[in-house]
Amino acid sequence: MADAKLNPTSVDGTDEPHGAEKTRQEKASTVEVVLPPDAIPPDPELTPEEAEQARKRYLLKRFWISARRYWGRGGDKLAWPCTIGLLTLICMNVGFQYGINLWNRAIFDALEQHNARTVYVLSVVFLPLALGTAALVTTQVALRMMIQRRWRSWLTTAVIARWLASGRYYQLNLIGGDHKNPEARIAEDLRIATEAPVDFISGVIAAFLSASTFILVLWTIGGALTLTIAGSTVTVPGFLVITAVLYAAITSSSMTVIGRHFVRVSEAKNQAEAEFRYTLTHVRENGESIALLGGEEEERNDLGKTFANVLRQWALLARQHMRTALVSQGSSLFAPVVPVLLCAPKYLEGSMTLGQVMQAASAFAIVQSAFGWLVDNYPRLADWNACARRIASLMMSLDGLERAEQSDSLGRIKHGETEGDAMLSLNDLSVSLDDGTAVVKETQVVIEAGERVLVAGESGSGKSTLVRAIAGLWPWGEGSVNFHADRRLFMLPQRPYIPSGTLRRAVAYPGAADSWTLDKIKAALDKVGLDYLNDKIEEDAPWDQTLSGGEKQRLAFARLLLHHPDIIVLDEATSALDEKSQDKMMQMVIDELPDVTIISVAHRAELEAFHSRKITLERREGGAKLVSDIDLVPRKRKRNLLSRVLKNPSLPKGSTSSNEGGTVPE
């Protein structure tokens, strides 16, 4: 959990009020304006295989719903100019191919006729043809990769915006669905999903134009072939065209049959690779705990199993590549020979010149290459299918979270503003899982400015879940969480987040590193007992791995001093500190931020000394309930608890707070 979630100091270092933060998050969450249609539930009459095929078809549809918007009203302004430019270059390149094909005919006819002058002239003509073709191909590659780069950038930005908005990156961990390893899907799968279609579409267009152009060439120069079979004369019109089409049909059909499992195998390979990367990352992030426990052997075994699955999937994919390579290599070997053999009878009888034979051979090879486009690109097409489905699965999970935010079918916790001077109020707040199972039931609490409230209860009673609901990370439930207008909240989780970069950036997070002077940052480190790190404040190091758990928690307290929030939520924020250090941190917060409102979740009884009020949750069947709310120090003004008592009739008689303010035993 990030240290600041709701109403934090903004990342540019300026103070951003609650309303502005909400507006910013709403804007981020609406990057995709039009939500896709609901996924159609599988037809119960379908077999498992048919249902799986229907799911995969919908995943591809879901990917294109978002991806095609790159060319829409809210897409990239250069999308259409670049696309039209690429199509123009493809057409021009086919024209130059035709020019070289005519040159082949002319040069071989000149050689056959021993016409030296024509050979010399054609040699000079070839240079601009070659240079023009090279320039067109180079420009075409540059423009094609530009479209790929900009499309990937646009779609990645949109997906990341949705992923980060409203805490969805965290909420994905709480719901079911096919969205494991979202970082791999966004980084790798989305790259392939946007690169491959541009290659495919440009390749198909080029192949179609080439095939159309050079089929006409074959029909024109090949003419009809007359054969004498058993005394009968048979004339085959356009024999070169018929042969080229039949040849391509055989190779393409062979590829389709041989590579029919390519998509499934490629998808399994990509999933295995993602799981292996995740396991390696998990080991790196938890290196200290593994080293202290001596768990290297167990981790090695786990990594070995995961990597063995990668190798197993690679072996299956290698078999598919071997089969397709056999077809592709065999096709490329026979393609140049077949037209020469077919034209040989007409050349030997004198009805075709050598130039026409070579022109036909060149045209046949181009037509065969165009028709064989599937043969050469089927593996990439399968890989694209797998990657597009993986990123679409993540999109569908985000769709579900967005719909849940807008739907009333599953209760959503509302967020608003308090009335009067109250800093925070929980009104009939119930927290549930995404399937409706209650975790915390009907909590009614009002917290005034400057109060320091300790939330207690046994493990599993829903304390941390309640804190996440207050911070806006947990959306499911009923009731409302209300904050005082224009107040900022700062979260200190049990495991503080340490970003990459310098120590200065880590202390300033989520603000920018240069939002505070070096002296202010050093002063904050001094007050939390990290003054020995002042000499390393500009050092770029893996601080997340370098700092101990206690040092990370001290650093999180230093952030409080810089950001100076109005409300602090501490979720076991001192668990890694010894009792003496814990007392120093809590007293430092009270001294430096005397007016701040504190909400703490903790198990240590010693923390009661630093709080003015204690509420206790008790785990019960049907959801935890607030069973006591007591004052730990005398209060100067009364607090109306009538509504809370009415909402929680189960409160023990000896546990209710006195309106006069004394300490009441639990």
For 158-190, write each residue's pLDDT tens digit.
999 989 887 788 878 777 777 888 888 898 899
Angle (nearest 5°) at CA 15 between 12 and 20: 95
Q: Identify which of 580, 177, 568 has the alpha carbon closest to the alpha carbon of residue 397.
A: 177
Q: What is the pLDDT of residues 198-215, one digit of tens each?
A: 999 999 899 899 888 988
- pLDDT of 441 higher than 50: yes
pTM for the full model?
0.66
What is the C-alpha separation between 359 and 101, in angstroms, rounded?
6
3-class state of residue 426 by DSSP: strand
Q: What CA–CA distances, in Å, run from 44 to 40, 50, 236? A: 12, 10, 54
3-class state of residue 352 by DSSP: coil
The DSSP string of 23-87 is HHHHHHHTSS-SPPPPPPPPPTTS-HHHHHHHHHHHHHHHHHHHHGGGGSTTS-TTHHHHHHHHH
pLDDT at position 371, please? 79
The DSSP string of 636-664 is SS----HHHHHH-TT--GGGBPPTT----
pLDDT at position 16, please? 37
Mean pLDDT of 46-59: 79
CB 611 within 8 Å of CB 454: yes
Q: Which structure tokens are listed for 526?
A: 């001094």
Q: Identify which of 207, 214, 210, 211 has the alpha carbon closest to the alpha carbon of residue 105.
A: 214
What is the C-alpha separation between 72 and 477, in angstroms, rounded?
37
Q: Which tops the pLDDT comparison, 372 or 217? A: 217
pLDDT at position 45, please? 74
Percent of the chain with pLDDT over 90: 23
Angle of helix 296-334 relative to helix 337-348, nearest 10 degrees, comes to 10
Determine which helix (DSSP H) or strand (DSSP E) holds 346, and give its type and residue range.
helix 337-348
What is the C-alpha separation between 230 and 645, in angstroms, rounded?
108
- pLDDT of 615 higher than 70: yes
Q: How many helices (H) and strands (E) does the chain have?
A: 21, 12
Q: Identify which of 641, 632, 643 has the alpha carbon closest to the alpha carbon of residue 659.
A: 641
> Which of 107-116, 319-328, 607-616 is least confident?
319-328
Omega within 30 of 0 (cis) for the link into 36: no
> Which of 26-35, 280-289, 618-627 is least confident?
26-35
Instruction: Give 73: exposed, middle or buried? Use CB within 10 Å, 0-12, 13-18, 19+.
Output: exposed
What is the C-alpha separation between 179 and 349, in angstroms, rounded?
68
Q: Identify which of 83, 77, 37, 78 has the alpha carbon closest to the alpha carbon of residue 58.
A: 37
Whose tokens are 């001093």? That residue is 561
Percent of the chain with pLDDT over 70: 85
Distant-in-sequence, close-in-space partners of 403: CB < 8 Å, separation ≥ 6: 35, 38
What is the C-alpha separation between 386 and 380, in angstroms, rounded?
10
- pLDDT of 290 higher than 90: no
Mean pLDDT score across all residues of the chain: 80
What is the C-alpha separation between 580 and 565, in angstroms, rounded?
25
Residue type, 9: T
Whose tokens are 């290196």? That residue is 287
- pLDDT of 18 higher than 70: no
pLDDT at position 157, please? 93
Distant-in-sequence, close-in-space partners of 413: CB < 8 Å, separation ≥ 6: 429, 431, 469, 474, 475, 476, 477, 478, 479, 480, 481
Strand order in the sheet with 422-432: 414-417, 477-483, 422-432, 438-448
pLDDT at position 295, please? 84
CB 496 within 8 Å of CB 553: yes
DSSP 502: B
pLDDT at position 519, please? 92
Whose tokens are 């806006």? That residue is 472
- pLDDT of 9 higher than 60: no
Three-state helix/strand/coil letters over 129-188: HHHHHHHHHHHHHHHHHHHHHHHHHHHHHHHHHHHHHHHHHHHHHHCCCCCCCHHHHHHH
pLDDT at position 21, please? 38
Q: Can you say whether residue 442 is alpha, beta or left, with left for phi > 0 and alpha for psi between -120 and 50 degrees?
A: left
Distant-in-sequence, close-in-space partners of 246: CB < 8 Å, separation ≥ 6: none
What is the C-alpha separation between 490 and 571, in angstroms, rounded?
11
pLDDT at position 286, please? 78
What is the C-alpha separation between 582 and 590, in angstroms, rounded?
13
DSSP E strand boundaries for 145-293: 224-229, 232-237
Mean pLDDT of 346-351: 83
How do strand 452-456 and strand 438-448 relate by DSSP bridges?
Answer: unpaired
What is the C-alpha separation between 452 and 611, in angstroms, rounded?
5
Q: Which tops the pLDDT comparison, 260 or 536? A: 536
- pLDDT of 38 higher than 80: no
Q: What is the pLDDT of residues 549-558, one digit of tens each?
A: 899 999 999 9
Cα torsion for 579, 580, 582, 584, to the nearest 10°?
A: 160
CB 585 within 8 Å of CB 554: yes
N residues, the chain: 666
- pLDDT of 4 higher than 50: no
Positive or negative: CA dihedral 371, 376, 379, 383? negative
- Give the count of beta carbons closer than 10 Å to the beta carbon of residue 645: 13
Facing residues of 425 across strands?
A: 446, 482
